[in-house]
Structure 1
């Protein structure tokens, strides 16, 4: 895998991980009794996006390391797994 492909795979993993991290620790404006006029009541009262970006980067790095280990070091691919056809 070249470095451009690795960067593309990491970006996809990072972006997917962001959607996993976003709802963690979410407290809405209603839960905190801090509703700002003109905003949705379910919007977060304190999003802490910097912290979520750091958590996303850590999670994406761990997932990418596992992906790299399986595909590049061990040399496995989806074709290496046996085809499973359930018998009726």
Structure 2
């Protein structure tokens, strides 16, 4: 695999990992015991720490990408392993 392809796949893993990581560790203003700002949603986070979130996302994305690369190299799971409808063995009409 070319390094540009690997970089593009890593960026995809990173962007998908954002959605995995964002819900964890979030505390609302009520949970933190702070004062609400006028017009603030009840579900809004009390403090958003972008650096800590980016670090967590990078760690998760790197682990997932490493597993992807290892699977790509050693072929642990192939397309035939997840072909539940046996479409790879069907004849073309």
Moved beyond 4 Å, runs of 4+ = none
| Separation (CA, whole Å) in 2 of partners of 1:82 and 1:11 | 25
Give the structure 1 partner of residue 61 of structure 2: 60
- Aligned residue pairs total 85
Q: TM-score, normalised by structure 2?
A: 0.77
Give the structure 1 partner of residue 23 of structure 2: 23
| Separation (CA, whole Å) in 2 of partners of 1:60 and 1:83 | 26
Structure 1, unaligned runs of 5 or more: none
The structure having more radius of gyration, on CA atoms, is: 2
Structure 2, unaligned runs of 5 or more: 86-93
Quote the RMSD (CA, aligned, Å): 2.1
Query: Is the contact made by 1:14 and 1:57 (CA closer than 8 Å) also made in structure 2?
Result: yes
Give the structure 2 partner of residue 7 of structure 1: 7
Q: Structure 1 residue 42 and structure 2 residue 43: aligned?
A: yes
Higher helix share: 2
Give the structure 1 partner of residue 91 of structure 2: none
